[in-house]
Amino acid sequence: MRMLKRKGKARIAVASIVRYGDEVAGRFDGEFVALACIHVIGVQ
């Protein structure tokens, strides 16, 4: 959150494993970017 507030953008990496019982049913790795929304009054 600090990076998003300071620079207006931030990145997060997520990794997860889906299990069914004792078996691995799936895996997921991804990177996501968050961009801050800047509102400027009077500009269209």
- Is pLDDT above 70 for 3? yes
Task: Write down the pLDDT at residue 42.
Answer: 61
The 3-state secondary structure of 1-44 reads: CHHHHHHCEEEEEEEEEEEECCEEEEEEEEEEEEECCCCCCCCC
- Is pLDDT above 60 for 44? no
Task: Write down the pLDDT at residue 17.
Answer: 97
Q: pLDDT per residue over 7-36, tens digit each?
A: 888 999 999 999 999 999 999 999 999 888
What pTM was estimated for this model as a whole? Answer: 0.51
